[in-house]
């Protein structure tokens, strides 16, 4: 799960809680909640390093504060995910086989019946 990434600072093994990105054109460092996907040009920081962050002279730090509970999956999210996994795990009917041959096809999935149209 994306929420279990570690801090990218050397020798820090704590869990990341924030993502740091740089906007070089505006001389701005943006520190926000942990991104859902790890990006190659972003840095994941633990709480300690996120609070300790300073910017170079002339740069501005924009801190996007948010509620930590906002990023925890809700019960509805977990149920929707479980239903999606169940739906994906259901055997899908083969569109090329006819219903009479569907059971035989399921037993030998590497074989397919092709009828001659003549």
Residues 35 and 17 in one domain: yes
Asked if the structure places residue 89 within a domain, the reply is: yes
Answering whether pTM is above 0.75, one says no
Dist CA 82 CA 74 (whole Å): 13
Q: Which two tokens stand for residue 44?
A: 């994941």
Regarding beta strands 18-23 and 60-63, do their DSSP bridges make them parallel or antiparallel, or are they unpaired? unpaired
> What's the confidence (pLDDT) of residue 99?
54
Domain coverage including residue 25: 2-66
- The span from the CA of 63 to the CA of 28, in Å, is 10
pLDDT tens by residue, 38-63: 888 899 999 899 999 998 899 999 98
Are residues 79 and 47 part of one domain? no
The pLDDT, as a whole number, for residue 82 is: 73
Residues ≥6 apart with Cβ < 8 Å to 54: 61
Nearest CA among 83, 81, 67 for reference residue 33: 67
Judge if 15 and 60 occupy the same domain.
Answer: yes
In a domain, 117, yes or no: no
Could you read off the pLDDT of 55-113 as tens digits, one per residue?
Answer: 889 999 998 876 554 445 556 666 777 777 777 777 766 555 555 555 554 555 566 66
| Number of structural domains in the chain | 2
Please report where in the chains the tokens 């001659």 appear, as a residue: 116
- Cα separation, 102 vs 118, in Å, equals 23
């Amino acid at each position: 799960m994306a929420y279990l990434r570690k801090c990218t600072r050397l020798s820090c093994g704590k869990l990341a809680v924030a993502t740091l990105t740089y906007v070089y054109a505006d001389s701005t460092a943006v520190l926000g909640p942990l991104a859902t996907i790890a990006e190659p040009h972003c840095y994941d920081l633990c709480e300690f390093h996120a609070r300790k962050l300073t910017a170079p002279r002339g740069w501005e730090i924009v801190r996007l504060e948010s509620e930590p509970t906002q990023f925890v999956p809700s019960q509805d999210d977990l149920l929707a995910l479980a239903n999606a996994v169940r739906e994906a795990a259901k055997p899908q009917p083969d569109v090329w086989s006819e219903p009479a041959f569907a059971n035989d096809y399921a037993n030998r999935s590497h074989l397919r019946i092709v009828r001659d149209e003549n």
